[in-house]
Amino acid sequence: MKPGGVRITTAAPEPDKWDGQKSANGMQRLFQCKPVACSDSETVAIGFSKSPTRHLDPQALDKLAKVDLPNSIQAAHAAHQAPANGTDKVDTLSSKAAVLKAYPAVINESKFTRAELVTYVDTALIFAGPVMIRVESASQNRDLAQKSLSDFVEVMKIEEGPPPPPGAPEPEDLPSTSGKPEQL
Under the banding of pLDDT at 50, 70 and 90, the label for residue 149 is very high
Residue 145 CB coordination number (10 Å): 26
* 74: nearest Cα among 110, 116, 122, 120: 110
CATH code for the domain of 40: 3.40.1000.10
Domain-located, residue 98: yes
Q: Is the pLDDT of residue 95 over 90?
A: yes
Handedness of CA 14, 15, 19, 23 (dihedral sign): positive
> How does the average pLDDT of the chain come out, rounded?
85
Provide mean pLDDT across the span 103-129.
Answer: 93
Burial (CB < 10 A; 0-12, 13-18, 19+), residue 92, is middle
pTM: 0.84
Domain-located, residue 1: no
Domain-located, residue 70: yes
> What is the tally of structural domains in the chain?
1
Provide mean pLDDT across the span 46-64.
Answer: 90
